[in-house]
Structure 1
Amino acid sequence: MPRIFRPTFLGVFGITNLQLGLAFSAYGVVAMIAYLPSGPLADLFSARRLMATALLATAAGGLVLTAIPPAGTLRWLYAFWGLSTILLFWSALIRATRQWGGEAWEGTAFGLLDGGRGLVAALLATVSVSLFAALMPADLDGVTDAERLAAFRQVILLFVAITALVACLVWFTIPDRESGSRGPEQMFRTTDALHVLARPVVWLQALIVVCAYVAYKGLDDVSLYAREVLGMDEVDAAYTSNLSMWIRPPAAVAAGIVADRWRVTRLTTLCFLCVAVGSALIASGQLGGEWTVFYLVLVATSAAIFAMRGLYFAIMREGRIPLRYTGTVVGLVSAIGYLPDVFMGPLMGFLLDRSPGPPGHQQVFATIAGFSLAGMLASSLYAFCVTRTDPPV
Structure 2
Amino acid sequence: MFTLIIAGEAIFLLPFILIRVFRPIIREAFVISDLEIGKAQALYGVMAMISYVFGGFFADKLEARKLLSISLILTALGGLWMLSIPSFESLRLLYGFWGVSTILLFWAALIKATRLWGNASNQGLSFGLLDGGRGAFAALIATFGAFIPGLFFPDDGTQITYDEKVTTIQYIIGFVTIIVSTVAIFVWFIVPKAESDSQETAPLFDIKKVGELIKQPKVIFHMIIIVCAYSAYKITDVYSTYAKDVWDYSLEEASFFGVLIQWIRPIAAISIGWIADKYLPSKLILWSFIVMGVFSSLLGFGLLDGLPIAMSIMAFILMVIGTYSLRGLYFAIIEEAKIPIAITGTLVGIISFIGYTPDIFMSLLSGYMLGEDPTVVDYQHLFQIFTLFPLIGLITTIGFRKTIRRN
TM bin, normalised by shorter chain, reads over 0.9
In structure 2, distance between residues paired with 1:146 and 1:354: 22
Structure 1 residues 221 and 2, CA gap change in structure 2 (3 angstroms): same
Q: Is the 8 A contact 2:134 2:266 kept in 1?
A: yes
1:265 equivalent in structure 2: 282
In structure 1, distance between residues paired with 2:198 and 2:166: 50
Q: Is the 8 A contact 1:348 1:364 kept in 2?
A: yes
1:107 deviates by 1.4
Q: Is the 8 A contact 1:62 1:160 kept in 2?
A: yes
2:374 equivalent in structure 1: 356
Q: What percentage of residue pairs aligned between the two structures are identical?
A: 39
2:84 equivalent in structure 1: 67
Q: Is the 8 A contact 2:295 2:315 kept in 1?
A: yes
1:55 equivalent in structure 2: 72
Q: 1:339 aligns with which of 347, 357, 361?
A: 357
In structure 2, distance between residues paired with 1:257 and 1:358: 37
Give the TM-score normalised by structure 2: 0.92
Structure 1 spans left out of the alignment, 5+ residues: none
Residue type of the alignment partner of 1:385: T
In structure 2, distance between residues paired with 1:335 and 1:178: 30
1:220 equivalent in structure 2: 237
Give the TM-score normalised by structure 1: 0.95
In structure 1, distance between residues paired with 2:220 and 2:130: 23
Q: 2:397 aligns with which of 379, 382, 389?
A: 379
In structure 2, distance between residues paired with 1:109 and 1:169: 21
1:19 equivalent in structure 2: 36
1:317 deviates by 1.0
List aligned pairs for 1:228-377, cutoff 5 A. 228-288=245-305, 290-353=308-371, 356-377=374-395
Structure 1 residues 96 and 245, CA gap change in structure 2 (3 angstroms): same
Residue type of the alignment partner of 1:318: E
1:201 equivalent in structure 2: 218
List aligned pairs for 1:66-145, cutoff 5 A. 66-139=83-156, 141-145=158-162
Structure 2 spans left out of the alignment, 5+ residues: 1-17
Q: Structure 1: which 4+ aligned runs deviate by more than 4 Å?
A: 178-185, 187-190
2:279 partner SS: coil
Render the CA deviation track for 1:95-124: whole Å, top value 9, x for unaligned: 000000121221111010001100000001
1:180 deviates by 4.3
Render the CA deviation track for 1:24-65: whole Å, top value 9, x for unaligned: 101000001110000000000011100100001101100100
1:10 equivalent in structure 2: 27
Render the CA deviation track for 1:175-208: whole Å, top value 9, x for unaligned: 22155468899x9855322221221111110100
Q: Is the 8 A contact 2:300 2:384 kept in 1?
A: yes
In structure 2, distance between residues paired with 1:141 and 1:22: 33
In structure 1, distance between residues paired with 2:157 and 2:144: 19
In structure 2, distance between residues paired with 1:114 and 1:173: 20
In structure 2, distance between residues paired with 1:249 and 1:148: 30
In structure 2, distance between residues paired with 1:291 and 1:175: 49
Render the CA deviation track for 1:323-368: whole Å, top value 9, x for unaligned: 1111011000000000000011111100001783111111221122
1:172 deviates by 2.0
Structure 1 residues 140 and 272, CA gap change in structure 2 (3 angstroms): farther
1:122 partner SS: helix
1:209 deviates by 0.4
In structure 1, distance between residues paired with 2:373 and 2:205: 49
Q: Is the 8 A contact 2:233 2:323 kept in 1?
A: yes
Q: Is the 8 A contact 1:43 1:188 kept in 2?
A: no
1:140 deviates by 5.4
1:93 deviates by 0.3
Residue type of the alignment partner of 1:382: F
1:280 deviates by 0.8
Structure 1, 118-127 or 175-184: larger mean CA deviation: 175-184
In structure 2, distance between residues paired with 1:21 and 1:140: 32
The answer on 1:42 being equivalent to 2:91 is no
2:387 partner SS: helix
1:15 partner SS: coil
Structure 1, 293-302 or 346-355: larger mean CA deviation: 346-355
In structure 1, distance between residues paired with 2:273 and 2:199: 28
